[in-house]
Structure 1
Amino acid sequence: MIKFSPNSSLPLVSAVIPTRNRPELVVRAVRSALAQTYPNLEVVVIIDGPDRSTVEALSDIYDDRLRFFELSNSVGGAQARNEGVRRSCGEWIGFLDDDDEWLPDKIWKQIEIANRLGKEFIICSRMIVISPNTNDVWPKRFPKNGESISEYLLNRTRFFKGEAQIQTSSFLISKDIFDRVKFRSGLKKHQDLDLYLRAANLDGIKFFFDENILSKWYIEQSIPTVSQNKDWRYTLDWASENSHLFEGSSLSGFLASQASTEIPPESISIALRLYIPIMMRNNARPIDYAILFLILLIRGEYRRKVSGFIRNIPKRNYASL
């Protein structure tokens, strides 16, 4: 039973958290959602398959706003999120990955914006990005006038990540919009990007970017994630099948800056024979080629260390917020 706040004029917001076999992390995420200053909130956790340790951990949280559901079989992250929304009651949905956190005013500030703009907007905010090498605030910039979401996200103007970003734990979406797009079940990778691009291509859906820093995103941690699964053939097939979602030269930007990170050293020559022709046909910019070759030359952990060094650890310790 959902207990609504005394102020019934406030719309109910549902925090949807998918998880599997990470009880300590999901408890941290749940507590950050329950600590919101926004009062009319429920937290819906979908446990993606039998997971007794997570059930026990969540059972120790005594808060009527929390509901959790253990699925009989694993359905994957995308469908788990869809299941969470299906079982939620809110007018607005805030997704929270089980290894991320919300800052206390996240929902208050985004609902204020949503009430002003309307339900056709997806409200995106800045986030603290925490990695072993550095912590920083992303995105560094928001879309320019006339810049599509695909071009904003994928057409880099600098060598390292963080310039442009939407991250699942950082946005708020109305249930009306989500019912039109949903996460595509069965995708092994690129579930979030797939949703952003499809939403941007639907009439009547807009993105709004807010200056506030409202969540914590933990990256490059020593825990498995979907994005760490390296399968460049799958990624290339996904991009080719969905090429209609990429505007301008953003498909080239995606291949250069994201797909290339999945190429193992022994497959570089094969991948280049496939990537370069596609990039040439899709108006690749000089910086796309430069990023591609930089990623191929400086592999994995070395690239992350170089990135952290060049960014220089910020003077402010954002991780302590």
Structure 2
Amino acid sequence: MPIVSVIIPVYNDADVLGRAIESVLAQTLEDFEMIVVDDASSDEPESVLSKYTDYRIRYLVHEQNLGGSAARNTGIKAASGDYIAFLDADDEWFPNKLAKQIQVLADQSNEFVGICCDFEHNRGYLIAEAVDQFLTKSDRGGEERHLGERILARQIALGGASSILLTRDAAMSIDGFDESFQRHQDWEFMIRLSKFGRICYLNEELFRKHETDPPDPETVERSKKVFFEKFKTDIDKAEENGYPVRARHRLELAKCFISDGQFYEGTKRLNVKDINSIQAFFELGYSTLRGLRRYRRGNTV
């Protein structure tokens, strides 16, 4: 049996799927299976898969589009490895990603069930929140107690599901991803995982995120409402402990509308007090530049 099952959900990403697959095949740890789950794509990702004859690759297909969470859950159910790792089709791992994460996680006590890592973003402006080894040392227990709250307040740069590696038992025990979430699936998943067991963080860039089109702001707003409803008690407690959860999410929602060129709708959802750091200032500025480019393209005859 493979030591790790790599799950790649794909939906209309055939143009970049090969890059993701190649990054898995280039791993220094070779004891893996790769499960590509096609969530009813219309751009024929099977034509990309047909170029590979590696016996470690498996291809599963949904008859109808069910969403990224459902695709990952299909992969989890089919997985046979001791560990499970996720890779979004538009991301790519660096060659030592699996080997390093498995080694660090294996060196921890049995209380640890997962690990995430830092990432390289091809967007030069990004200022990631520093989270130096906040779970790998026993004397950092105070930070561990607040892991869920830091996730709720988006103070940890996860970089999506491509960062996460966990034991298969843990993935099954928390029932995988919540399929009601259209966005924030990785954050929702990590919050529940942090309640199930301990998670360690490897402060090293082990994969690359590629810039994609900004998400539909209306979809993001609906997803945040679901997020707030599910974790209301946790959010209230986090804010009592000084974590600005709702402020951070208001800022993110405003950025989505502004990046989409909907400046008025964005500013309506923003409180001036939410711009409380240099990072927030630069993020909002970058979103404004994206929105202006989008607005100009839409008004070009």
TM-score tier (shorter) = 0.7 to 0.9
Superposed counterparts of 1:264-283, under 5 Å? 264-267=262-265, 271=269
Q: What is the rounded CA distance, in whole Å, between the counterparts of 1:45 and 1:137 in structure 2?
A: 31
Superposed counterparts of 1:65-144, under 5 Å? 65-117=56-108, 118=110, 120-131=112-123, 134=124, 138-142=128-132, 143=134
The structural deviation recorded for 1:113 is 1.4
Superposition CA RMSD, Å: 3.1
Residues 151 and 191, structure 2, Cα contact 8 Å, conserved in 1 = no
The structural deviation recorded for 1:32 is 0.6
Letter in 1 for 2:107: R
Residue 152 in structure 1 maps to residue 146 in structure 2: no
Q: What is the rounded CA distance, in whole Å, between the counterparts of 1:49 and 1:33 in structure 2?
A: 22
TM-score, normalized by length of structure 1?
Answer: 0.73
Report the 3-state secondary structure (helix = DSSP H, G, I; strand = E; otherwise coil) of the residue aligned with 1:73: coil
Aligned pair partner of 1:166 in 155, 158, 178: 158
Deviates more, 1:118-127 or 1:141-150: 141-150
Residue 198 in structure 1 maps to residue 203 in structure 2: no
Aligned pair partner of 1:179 in 164, 172, 184: 172
Q: What is the rounded CA distance, in whole Å, between the counterparts of 2:121 and 2:88 in structure 1?
A: 14
Letter in 1 for 2:5: S
Q: What is the rounded CA distance, in whole Å, between the counterparts of 1:83 and 1:95 in structure 2?
A: 12
Aligned residues: 269
Give structure 2 stretches of 5+ with no counterpart.
135-139, 293-301
* Cα distance change, pair 210–299 in 1 and its aligned pair in 2 (3 A): closer
Give structure 1 stretches of 5+ with no counterpart.
5-10, 157-162, 277-285, 306-321
In structure 2, the partner of 1:282 is: none
Report the 3-state secondary structure (helix = DSSP H, G, I; strand = E; otherwise coil) of the residue aligned with 1:228: coil
Superposed counterparts of 1:1-321, under 5 Å? 12-51=3-42, 53-117=44-108, 118=110, 120-131=112-123, 134=124, 138-142=128-132, 143=134, 145-147=141-143, 148-153=146-151, 155=153, 164-167=156-159, 168-181=161-174, 182-200=176-194, 202-203=195-196, 205-219=197-211, 221=212, 224=213, 228-231=215-218, 233-241=221-229, 242-246=231-235, 247=238, 248=241, 249-263=243-257, 264-267=262-265, 271=269, 288-290=274-276, 298=285, 300-302=287-289
Taking only the aligned residue pairs, the percentage that are identical comes to 23
The structural deviation recorded for 1:269 is 6.9
Residues 35 and 59, structure 2, Cα contact 8 Å, conserved in 1 = yes
* Cα distance change, pair 207–287 in 1 and its aligned pair in 2 (3 A): farther
Letter in 2 for 1:234: R
TM-score, normalized by length of structure 2?
Answer: 0.77
* Cα distance change, pair 304–166 in 1 and its aligned pair in 2 (3 A): farther
Q: What is the rounded CA distance, in whole Å, between the counterparts of 1:31 and 1:186 in structure 2?
A: 31
Residues 119 and 174, structure 1, Cα contact 8 Å, conserved in 2 = no
